[in-house]
Homo-oligomer: A and B are copies of this chain.
Amino acid sequence: MTATQDVNRWLAEFGAALEGNDVETAVSLFADECYWRDLVSFTWNIKTMEGKAQIADMLTATLGHVQPGNWQLEGEANEAGGVTDGWICFETAVSRGRGHIRLIDGKCWTLLTTMTELKGHEEKKGPTRPMGVEHGVFKNRQSWLERRQQEEAELGYTTQPYCVIIGGGQGGIALGARLKRLGVPTLIIEKNPRPGDSWRNRYKSLCLHDPVWYDHLPYLPFPDHWPVFAPKDKIGDWLEMYTKVMELNYWGSTLCQQATYNEETQEWEVHVNRQGEELVLRPKQLVLATGMSGMPNVPSIPGADTFQGDIHHSSAHRDSVAYAGKKCVVLGSNNSAHDICAALYENDADVTMIQRSSTHIARSDTLMDLALGDLYSERALANGVDTNTADMIFASLPYRILHTFQIPVYEEMARRDAEFYEQLEKAGFMLDWGDDGSGLFMKYLRRGSGYYIDVGASQLIIDGSVKLRSGVNIDHIKEHSVVLTDGSELPADLIVLATGYGSMNGFAAKLISQEVADKVGKVWGLGSDTKKDPGPWEGEQRNMWKPTQQEALWFHGGNLHQSRHYSQFLSLQLKARQAGIPTPVYGLQEVHHLS
């Protein structure tokens, strides 16, 4: 039997079992170790069912209303190393979907099902794109510009958006674009004046650490001369352009002050200040897209108020030129800490990094080659793996076993760059590879921190150009120095607190209430029982892009990849609710941690 026949046979049996409501037969088609990751299609949730029992439970709960059918293989299936895999498509009563399947010995090992569109609410594109002009004669016709200006004038004033997105970075913008195409009236609220400012406001030398193939926004990919690692101001300009041409309703210079959900009217009351004007918005849905870097984590250090130099969080660090010849202390050892140390050094400052705990370092070139190269690279493109395909392959790997794919990558990295790591350790730098050796990406998914993608600063640590104090913290601050926990003292004109960011949950507490923040619980992380990601295992990222314990409250964000891909699933959940399509949520997550 060929790979294609194998998958076709499986899909036929699976489809028939589901059609016959025969959960037992359907489950019997899975291997003992099996995973079904569903992005919205079956569960109206983002959920991985692990093992036959969970799959049986999900099917029992959902089959009656989901009514899946029309399972088909797209193109040909492949076989490699005992695993047969293929792309599939299917339908439910209300939607169409795409997915991916892996079979071992004819049984399903991994299944991915994702919703691509709601029937009757398809995005207008290609053959269904709008005409742009209405041919014919219409008395007092409105032009496109007049309609657009009217929409801008009315939305939030005389008409209410169905959805308000708080935070107009890449997350809010990508989601806003999808909701625009789906016809969901949406307002994006951003504290900075212009789209892209959250990038422009960062330190001068910042470039994306992720490569271009990983970073596309929905619908409008970067042109093919776009740099591999886009400089911050360039990505800022792109986001501004994108917001304009996608016709997003975007309120810059607007502070969101308070939000309350009225259970009775099922409406949010969102108090905002738009350039001095106090307004109340009444959306049905509220999305917090303030990002992984929305809430600076500023440690309270004794004596900080007596410091006579400059002290600021890394998020407030701009240009390093002013610190030429100055003594600078950078607290922290992740991406921002390293980038800022290098920028200060490049501008002739005297720099000391204070490393409190071990850090994972991955050299950019090696990381791109080993960890991303098969999916997001020119090599991938040449192999037919475009960004959309890469997103789907990536989504098809269950989080429960993702680390097992990652560990060998980082073992190879350690081998390839052995001399580099040896030199770093010799310089006193405390290295780690994640609790289980699974490296950078798992750290990102589990805790969103704990690493530096080396683009040059590690060499400064190695050769002593940037001084390193590791295994210590700042104990207290004096007028012109910091005193470390080992009692030593460093003179300082500048202290940069590269101490990371708090949970989006903290923003919910600030904006809505501590009660709602506690009800919703921790945002981000998998429950991997590793550092900063306590168990129990939850199987998907907590609270991201899916229903939370607070009705009509959603969290959106992550890197450009996640903002692109998961905005698809969040936008379809919101559209379904706006369209009045029933969205029975299977397996709403329990809350195990407050923040």
Q: In whole angstroms, what is the CA distance A364 to B133 when docked?
A: 11
Q: A141 to chain B: which residues have CB within 8 Å? A: 205, 343, 346
Q: A129-B224, A135-B456, A219-B225 are in contact. Are A347 and B140 (CB under 8 A)?
A: yes
Q: Is A227 an interface residue when CB atoms closer than 8 A count as contact?
A: yes
Instruction: Decide if B181 touches A225 in the complex (CB within 8 Å).
Output: yes
Q: A123-B225, A220-B223 are in contact. Are A244 and B237 (CB under 8 A)?
A: yes
Q: A224 to chain B: which residues have CB within 8 Å? A: 125-126, 129, 219
Q: A226 to chain B: which residues have CB within 8 Å? A: 129
Q: Is A345 an interface residue when CB atoms closer than 8 A count as contact?
A: yes
B140, B241, B342, B347: the one contacting A241 at CB < 8 Å is B241
Q: Mark A332-355, 1 if CB is under 8 A from B, else 0.
A: 000000000011011110000000
Instruction: Decide if B126 touches A231 in the complex (CB within 8 Å).
Output: no
B130, B145, B234, B456: the one contacting A144 at CB < 8 Å is B234
- The segment out of A85-93, A457-465, A488-496 that lies at the interface is A457-465
Q: Is A485 an interface residue when CB atoms closer than 8 A count as contact?
A: no
Q: In whole angstroms, what is the CA distance A465 to B139 when docked?
A: 12
Instruction: Decide if A143 touches B381 in the complex (CB within 8 Å).
Output: no
Q: Is A136 an interface residue when CB atoms closer than 8 A count as contact?
A: yes
**Closest residue of B by beta carbon distance from A129:** B225
Q: Is A233 an interface residue when CB atoms closer than 8 A count as contact?
A: yes
Q: Is A482 an interface residue when CB atoms closer than 8 A count as contact?
A: no
Q: A212-B129, A244-B241 are in contact. Are A137 and B459 (CB under 8 A)?
A: yes
Q: A241 to chain B: which residues have CB within 8 Å? A: 241, 244-245
Q: A143-B204, A225-B124 are in contact. Are A345 and B129 (CB under 8 A)?
A: no
Instruction: Decide if B460 touches A137 in the complex (CB within 8 Å).
Output: yes
In this complex, the member of A124, A133, A144, A230 whose beta carbon has the largest number of chain B beta carbons within 10 angstroms is A133
- State the Cβ distance, A104 to closest chain B Cβ, in Å: 36
Q: In whole angstroms, what is the CA distance A139 to B465 when docked?
A: 12
- State the Cβ distance, A315 to closest chain B Cβ, in Å: 18
Instruction: Decide if A228 touches B130 in the complex (CB within 8 Å).
Output: yes
Instruction: Decide if B245 touches A139 in the complex (CB within 8 Å).
Output: no
Q: A224-B125, A225-B130, A227-B129 are in contact. Are A233 and B138 (CB under 8 A)?
A: no
B139, B244, B455: the one contacting A133 at CB < 8 Å is B455
Identical copies of this chain, number: 2
Q: Is A131 an interface residue when CB atoms closer than 8 A count as contact?
A: yes
Q: Is A229 an interface residue when CB atoms closer than 8 A count as contact?
A: yes
Q: A127 to chain B: which residues have CB within 8 Å? A: 378
Instruction: Decide if A135 touches B364 in the complex (CB within 8 Å).
Output: yes
- State the Cβ distance, A347 to closest chain B Cβ, in Å: 7
Q: Mark A207-243, 1 if CB is under 8 A from B, else 0.
A: 1100010000001100111111111011001100100
Q: Is A132 an interface residue when CB atoms closer than 8 A count as contact?
A: yes
Q: A136 to chain B: which residues have CB within 8 Å? A: 455-456, 459
Size class of the contact patch on chain A: 35 or more
Q: A135 to chain B: which residues have CB within 8 Å? A: 364-365, 455-456
Tell me the residues in window 245-262 of chain A with beta carbons closer than 8 Å to chain B beta carbons: 245-246
Q: A227 to chain B: which residues have CB within 8 Å? A: 129-133
Q: A144 to chain B: which residues have CB within 8 Å? A: 207, 231, 233-234
**Closest residue of B by beta carbon distance from A219:** B223
Q: A234 to chain B: which residues have CB within 8 Å? A: 132, 144-145
Q: Mark A385-413, 1 if CB is under 8 A from B, else 0.
A: 00000000000000000000000000000
Instruction: Decide if A140 touches B346 in the complex (CB within 8 Å).
Output: yes
B124, B131, B207, B381: the one contacting A132 at CB < 8 Å is B207
B129, B139, B231: the one contacting A145 at CB < 8 Å is B231
Q: A144-B233, A212-B129 are in contact. Are A346 and B139 (CB under 8 A)?
A: yes
Q: In whole angstroms, what is the CA distance A343 to B135 when docked?
A: 12
Q: A348 to chain B: which residues have CB within 8 Å? A: 139-140
Q: A130 to chain B: which residues have CB within 8 Å? A: 225, 227-228
- State the Cβ distance, A594 to closest chain B Cβ, in Å: 39
- State the Cβ distance, A97 to closest chain B Cβ, in Å: 20
B131, B146, B229, B345: the one contacting A137 at CB < 8 Å is B345
Q: Mark A447-458, 1 if CB is under 8 A from B, else 0.
A: 000000001110
Q: A141-B346, A241-B245, A346-B137 are in contact. Are A230 and B132 (CB under 8 A)?
A: yes
Instruction: Decide if A143 touches B233 in the complex (CB within 8 Å).
Output: yes
Q: In whole angstroms, what is the CA distance A255 to B535 when docked?
A: 68
Q: Mark A407-438, 1 if CB is under 8 A from B, else 0.
A: 00000000000000000000000000000000
Q: In whole angstroms, what is the CA distance A460 to B139 when docked?
A: 12
Q: A345 to chain B: which residues have CB within 8 Å? A: 137
Q: A205-B143, A225-B123 are in contact. Are A132 and B231 (CB under 8 A)?
A: yes
**Residue contacts A-B, CB under 8 angstroms, 6 given:** A131-B229, A132-B228, A132-B229, A139-B348, A223-B245, A238-B245
Q: Given A127-B378, A129-B227, A133-B207, 14 other A-B contacts at CB below 8 A?
A: A125-B225, A126-B378, A129-B225, A133-B455, A135-B455, A137-B459, A137-B465, A138-B346, A139-B348, A141-B343, A145-B204, A148-B233, A223-B245, A223-B246
> B-contacting residues of A (Cβ < 8 Å)?
123-127, 129-133, 135-141, 143-146, 148, 181, 204-205, 207-208, 212, 219-220, 223-231, 233-234, 237-238, 241, 244-246, 342-343, 345-348, 364-365, 378, 381, 455-457, 459-460, 465
